[in-house]
Amino acid sequence: MSLTHIDADGRPKMVDITDKQASSRQAHARASVLLPPEVAAEFTGNDLMTRKGSVAHTAVIAGTMAVKRTAELIPFCHPLPIDRCDIRIELQDNGHLVIDCIVAVQHKTGVEMEALTGASVAALTVYDMLKALSHDIVISEVRLISKQGGKSDFESSQPPAGGNP
């Protein structure tokens, strides 16, 4: 196994995708935010209105913006013309707020980093909007759930935080 972002001399580099063929690629990432019981109790359905607005809607917008700007944040990511970004937020009975981010593109490289960035920033936005209620909010897990396209597909075999797939 070798690292793709290191050249033969050990220097960091961006992967050359010049000769790769564009194909349909998709990635699904998830972030889990554990809310204290008193904060989770404030939710109606899968959302909470604050003085800053809807927590879920704001997190979806922030996550979507982050997906589109991943190449500006992660040094060796290629800028990608995102075809699809779908962020869903659901409050589980156990107080975990599950944030799923699915990103798709027709391109020469995958969108795992975009999906992970979108889920992460959505989770950070939830924290920012709810910290006035409690600082005892835990972003407990950000992970890749699956990817399709490219050299190989991937499906996580690890159980998710929060107990639900």
How many CB atoms are located within 10 Å of the residue 117 CB? 26
Which token pair is 136?
């005892």
Nearest to 51, CA basis, from 120, 136, 121, 133 = 133
The two structure tokens encoding residue 148 = 């399709």
DSSP structural state of residue 47: B
How far lies 147's CA from each of 28, 89, 115, in Å?
6, 20, 10
The catalytic residue among 83, 86, 128, 153 is 128
Active site residue 16: no
Q: Please give the positions annotated as active site.
A: 128
